[in-house]
Amino acid sequence: MSGSRIGVREYRHRRRELMRLAGADAAVLLAAAPPRLRNGDTCWPYRQDSDFLYLTGFDEPQAVLALLPGRAAGQCVLFCRERDTAAERWDGGWLGPEGAVRMLGVDDAFPIADIDEILPGMLEGRARLYCHFGREAAFDAQLLAWLRRLRASHGGARAPQEMLALGHLLHELRLFKSPAERALLREAARIGMDGHRAAWAALRPGAHEYTVEAAFTGAVRAAGARPSYPPIVAAGSNACVLHYARNDAPLRSGDLLLLDAGAEWQGYASDITRTLPVGGRFGTAQRALYRLVLEAQQAALACIRPGRTWEDFHDAARTVLVEGLCALRLLEGPPRQALARGHYRRYFPHKTGHWLGLDVHDAGDYRIHGEPRVLEPGMVLTVEPGLYIPADDAGVPARYRGTGIRIEDDVAVTATGAEVLTAALPGDPDALEEALSVARRAA
């Protein structure tokens, strides 16, 4: 197993790049994610804000990063919790400001309790302030209070005149994955694929969707990772619910099971879907639809290379699906008109992919000046066409109704084409049946 982590040098490089983009007269402020209360004094498992993680690697709440290009006393400043023996007995070890300078490579660090005193002065004379506005109400209020304080101080100190949304600059950096990030994404993919195989071993008629979820989650946790999102384990017509989350229905022979589940490793996500026959063999109608989705995915994958656009691979998948649906008479042809009428959206209501990285639906613009983005080396995305035939669709033969199929792989754009990070997990229906049978025998 890869033990690699992102090193301090890379975090420093990211912060420097962001400062270069922001400009010498700017300041950048970014807050850690707050803990989220579930009820009483119980919080949801803490997950750091991905932007904050990207720039610091620091996973504690109650922290603010200030980037101040050119500041003589240190341009990268972190405010974080001070060490507190009594509190750490409950919460585990905190890094503290001294630890932050030592471990995170920031230039300077202060107790978060002192931020109202220290930060406004640091913003003085900066022309522009980059920030996420409107993301966290408490931080917005704090920010306005700092600016008020700055304007009120010694006869009106020079407060930043321009407030700019940080997302665009930062997310442009996050869109291009470094070699170290690609290694972590590969590892997240590997753990996710192992999780799928473990889930297949638990897949049998009479079991429940949660049996399969437990096998996936158990394997991923045993590898030291976590699910990167709540697994979608959807049997039969549940697979037509795109973000199905109940995962509590029994598995019946003759149904398909759609398993959409990924792993988060060192903050980086995989996002993988396979659709399998609960009874071990695809039925004829199921196989016809499955083949169609697979062909659509192959057509889309063939478009992933530098120079092609964000729309190209979606168009390729959509064309194959619409032609196939017309051939199976689920849509009225001819295909060109079926495409123009848009009725296919009833069966294929989503796009063919999204960026993948620290977030499952990762940061980065999909269009530039209204035009679909051109793919470039270093981008990582999912390719995930699907077909979902509602159980109550009287317009199609009964054998197709209540069937949901998606095949989802994770792909890195390389200098010459694409690297499918999840290629080791079979997608071909015969190979899938064989792998399912092997996994069950081994269980």
Residues identified as active-site: 41, 243, 260, 271, 350, 354, 361, 384, 388, 406, 408
Q: What is the DSSP string of 206-262?
A: TSBHHHHHHHHHHHHHHTT-EESS--EEEEGGGGGSTT-----PBP-TT-EEEEEE-
Residues 148 to 207: which contact Mn ion by CB under 5 A? none
* Cα radius of gyration (the chain): 25
Residue closest to ligand GLY, measured at CB: 260
Q: Is 264 a binder of ligand GLY (CB under 6 A)?
A: no
Amino acid at 351: K
Closest distance to Mn ion from the beta carbon of 387 (Å): 15
Is residue 209 within the footprint of ligand GLY (CB under 6 A)?
no
Is residue 213 a contact point for ligand GLY (CB under 6 A)? no
How distant, in Å, are the alpha carbons of 92, 136, 177, 313, 373 from that of 208?
A: 37, 39, 38, 35, 41
Residue owning tokens 């639906």? 361
Q: Which is nearer to ligand GLY, 242 or 288 (CB)?
A: 242
Of 132 and 196, which CB lies nearer to Mn ion in the complex structure?
196
Residue 21: which of Mn ion, ligand GLY, none does it interact with, CB under 5 to 8 A by kind?
A: none
408 binds ligand GLY (CB under 6 A): yes
Shortest Cβ 190–ligand GLY spacing (Å): 18
Site for ligand GLY in 225-244 (CB under 6 A): 229
Q: How far is the CB of 188 from ligand GLY (least distance, A)?
A: 13
Cα distances from 115 to residues 62, 145, 153, 163, 394, in angstroms, run 11, 11, 16, 20, 63
Is the previous residue joined to 334 through a cis bond, with omega within 30 degrees of 0?
yes
d(CA 128, CA 267): 30
149 binds, among Mn ion, ligand GLY, none (CB under 5 to 8 A by kind): none
* CA 160 and chain centroid, separation: 33
**Least Å from the CB of residue 199 to Mn ion:** 14
* Contact partner, 305, from ligand GLY, Mn ion, none, Cβ < 5-8 Å per class: none
Q: Minimal distance in Å, beta carbon 147 to ligand GLY? A: 38
Which partner in ligand GLY, Mn ion, none is near 343 (CB below 5 to 8 A by kind)? Answer: none
Interface with Mn ion includes 359 (CB under 5 A)?
no
Q: Which residue in 48, 382, 403, 422 binds Mn ion (CB under 5 A)? A: 382
Distance of CA 353 to the CA centre of its chain: 11
Of residues 271 through 310, those in contact with ligand GLY by CB under 6 A are 271
What's the CA gap between 298 and 434, in Å, rounded?
A: 20
Q: How far lies 252's CA from each of 51, 280, 344, 442, in Å?
A: 43, 11, 28, 21
Strands 371-372 and 268-269, bridge-based pairing: unpaired
What's the rounded Cα separation, in Å, for the pair 385 and 345? 12
Q: Return the axis-axis angle of helices 137-152 and 115-123, rounded to nearest 10°.
A: 60
Q: How many residues bind ligand GLY (CB under 6 A)?
A: 7
The answer to whether residues 15 and 21 touch, using CB atoms and an 8 Å cutoff, is no
What's the closest the beta carbon of residue 243 comes to ligand GLY, in angstroms?
A: 7
Contact set for Mn ion, span 398-437 (CB under 5 A)? 408
Using the rule CB under 5 A, give the single segment among 38-46, 142-150, 195-203, 379-387 that binds Mn ion: 379-387
Nearer to ligand GLY, 21 or 242 (CB): 242
Question: How near is the Cβ of 361 to Mn ion at its closest, in Å?
Answer: 7
Distance CA 357, CA 363 (A): 8
Whole-number Å distance between alpha carbons of 213 and 221: 12
Separation of first and last alpha carbons in the chain: 23
Quote the tokens at residue 221: 């946790």
* Structural tokens at position 435: 């792998």
What residues numbered 248-287 form the site for Mn ion, per CB under 5 A? 260, 271, 273
Q: Helix, strand, or coil here: 79?
A: strand
Q: Pick one of ligand GLY, Mn ion, none as the site partner of residue 229 (Cβ within 5 to 8 A by kind).
A: ligand GLY
- Considering the complex, what minimum distance in angstroms separates the CB of residue 99 from Mn ion? 37
Residue 260 found at the interface with ligand GLY (CB under 6 A): yes
The contact set with ligand GLY (CB under 6 A) reads 229, 260, 271, 354, 360, 384, 408
Binding residues for Mn ion, rule: CB under 5 A, are 260, 271, 273, 382, 408
